[in-house]
Amino acid sequence: MHKLDLSAESLCQRNPRLIYAALSGFGHAGSHTDRAAYDVVVQALSGLMSITGSSADEPVRVGTSISDILTGIFGAVAIVSAVHGRTESGQGTVIDLAMLDCTVAALENAISRFATAGVAPEPLGTRHPSITPFQAFPDGRCADRHRRRQRHTVGGPLRLSRARRPG
């Protein structure tokens, strides 16, 4: 944007009410600034892949392009917040978001557990590090009862698969 004379500084000088949002892979300062960012690369560099899956043998990417999605959501919230702030102050703002930062923000449990208790993050499968019971369990009767209630509530089709039941 600097090459086109469209930097945040130059545009905000022209229009102080401007809300300028710059979303990048690794931010606009630092050693990775000029690197291309792909979702899977950001998942790996952030540490997200180290806690995804059920085995420490192989890093696993999240099943969606979560880093792309998180960055878009964080960007949208930041822009809406800036618009609201501008109605109060009359001033615009510059928003600078990096995919890596947004993905690291999603590691709330892993980071806080390591920082406070020294517990190194590891793949959890479907478990949760601090809520029990919170994972996939073989079940039939209990799940079927919940699905019947759900069907009654939403009026949808009832599909109970005997093939998925253990035993």
The residues that are catalytic are 128
Q: Are 39 and 48 in contact (CB under 8 A)?
A: no
97: helix, coil or strand?
Answer: strand
Structure tokens at 67: 């880093």
Q: Work out whether the CA dihedral 42, 44, 46, 51 comes out positive or negative.
A: positive
Question: Which candidate, 22, 20, 21, 17, places its Cα nearest to that of 88?
Answer: 17
Residue type, 18: L
Q: Work out whether the CA dihedral 92, 97, 101, 102 comes out positive or negative.
A: positive
